[in-house]
């Protein structure tokens, strides 16, 4: 996929995401599928040549969506999917672009330091004791966990 194809596919995907959010009420909250449902929808071996984007895009509704539990559906009450808001999606695009893996400081200093600062902000917003701050000697700090 070259730059132009990526831009066109990206616009198509963004439109899909917006339409998904707008029309989520029309979907079933929980999927009505049985284990192994996807095996009959896909070949039994990996393709020998890359498939065109248009074919892959069609598989979102044909293959993926039948087995999706729609966490953002207004009638789904089991978990809170905070990582699917528009700002979170944009952050994921940037994070994926720069391959931001924050499992250690050396893997991405900016990612790690931003997380520490945001955790300290949360300590202050929640009025927790200073021992929870990352700057507290030997006590504080933490990590942000997503809800996926």
Please identify every stretch of the chain with a pLDDT value under 70, giving residue numbers as ranges: 80-82, 138, 144-148
Handedness of CA 52, 53, 54, 60 (dihedral sign): positive
Contact 54, 118 (CB under 8 A): no
Distance CA 115, CA 147 (A): 16
Provide the pLDDT for residue 82.
Answer: 64
Q: Pull the structure tokens for residue 58.
A: 């069609």
Overall size of the chain counted in residues:
148
Res 147: pLDDT: 59
Q: What is the pLDDT of residue 81?
A: 64
Q: Is the dihedral of CA 45, 48, 50, 52 positive or negative?
A: negative
pLDDT of residue 32: 94
- Contact assessment for residue 70 and residue 28, using Cβ atoms and an 8 Å cutoff: yes
pLDDT digits (tens, 9 = 90+) for 81-103: 667 788 888 988 888 888 877 77
Burial 54-78 (b: 16+ CB within 10 A, else e): eeeeeeeeeeeeeeeebbebeeeee
Please state which CATH number belongs to domain 3-78: 1.20.1340.10
Cα 57 to Cα 38, 52, 98: the distances in Å are: 16, 9, 24
Domain spans in the chain, listed from the N-terminal domain onward: 3-78, 80-148
Contact 33, 3 (CB under 8 A): no
Tokens for 135, please give them. Answer: 């700057």
> Cα separation of 72 and 83, whole Å?
10
């Amino acid at each position: 996929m070259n730059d132009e194809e990526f831009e066109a596919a990206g616009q198509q995907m963004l439109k899909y995401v917006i339409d998904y959010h707008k029309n989520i009420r029309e979907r079933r909250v929980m999927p009505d599928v049985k284990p192994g449902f996807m095996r009959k929808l896909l070949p039994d071996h990996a393709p020998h040549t890359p498939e065109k984007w248009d074919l892959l895009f069609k598989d979102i509704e044909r293959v993926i969506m039948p087995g999706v539990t729609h966490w953002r559906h207004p009638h789904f009450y089991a978990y809170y999917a905070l990582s699917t808001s528009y700002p979170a999606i944009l952050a994921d695009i940037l994070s994926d672009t720069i391959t931001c893996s924050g499992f250690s400081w050396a893997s991405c200093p900016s990612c790690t330091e931003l997380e520490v600062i945001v955790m300290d902000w949360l300590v202050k917003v929640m009025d927790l004791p200073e021992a929870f701050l990352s700057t507290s000697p030997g006590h504080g700090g933490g990590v942000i966990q997503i809800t996926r």
